[in-house]
């Protein structure tokens, strides 16, 4: 369809001289159209129409535009589509290997998270350089709090 529009436009403005004889005219038309078809057949239909429309509006010379001129009109659009296609293919490929979603019973509950946080904090404090544990085995920060609470009770 895009090639037909291009050929009609080229003939209207005299960009290509086609013979007047019907059979020769059809043969010449077919030869030109097949050359263009080979060069732009990989363009999606909507981009081919957009490219031909752009060439019809912007071609400045009295000759038939080259297929490269037609392709250049939609090069950015084609590159964007190819990038989008690659991203979708990657998402599909990695989606097949993604772990299954967690079941509700596998999720960590808030109480479990708090206990886990306390354990990580105690472990981090105990592993700090120069950190010593109190007599009861608790990290110094916890022991200091307890000592202050005991001192407050004795003072009362």
pTM for this model (two decimals) = 0.53
Tell me which residue of 18, 43, 13, 14 sits closest to 29, measured CA to CA: 18
Angle at 151 between CA 148 and CA 156, to 5 degrees: 130
- pLDDT-based confidence at 130, cuts 50/70/90? low
* 59-90 pLDDT per residue, tens: 888 888 899 999 999 999 999 999 999 999 88
DSSP state of 104: G
d(CA 145, CA 118): 15
Cβ atoms within 10 Å, residue 39 = 15
Give me 73's structure tokens: 């009109």
Residue in this structure with the two tokens 């290997």, named with its chain if needed? 97
> What mean pLDDT do residues 36-57 have?
91
């Amino acid at each position: 369809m895009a090639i037909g529009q291009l050929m009609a436009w080229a003939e209207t403005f005299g960009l290509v001289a086609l013979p007047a004889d019907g059979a020769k005219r059809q043969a010449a038309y077919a030869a030109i159209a097949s050359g263009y078809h080979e060069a732009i057949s990989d363009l999606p239909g909507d981009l081919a129409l957009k490219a031909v429309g752009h060439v019809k509006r912007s071609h400045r010379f009295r000759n038939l535009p080259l297929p490269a001129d037609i392709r250049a009109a939609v090069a950015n659009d084609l590159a964007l589509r190819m990038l989008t296609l690659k991203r979708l293919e990657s998402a599909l490929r990695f989606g097949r290997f993604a772990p299954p979603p967690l079941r509700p019973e596998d999720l960590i509950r808030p109480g479990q998270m708090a206990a886990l946080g306390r354990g990580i904090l105690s472990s981090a404090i105990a592993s700090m350089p120069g950190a010593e544990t109190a007599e009861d085995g608790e990290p110094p920060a916890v022991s200091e709090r307890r000592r202050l609470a005991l001192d407050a009770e004795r003072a009362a």
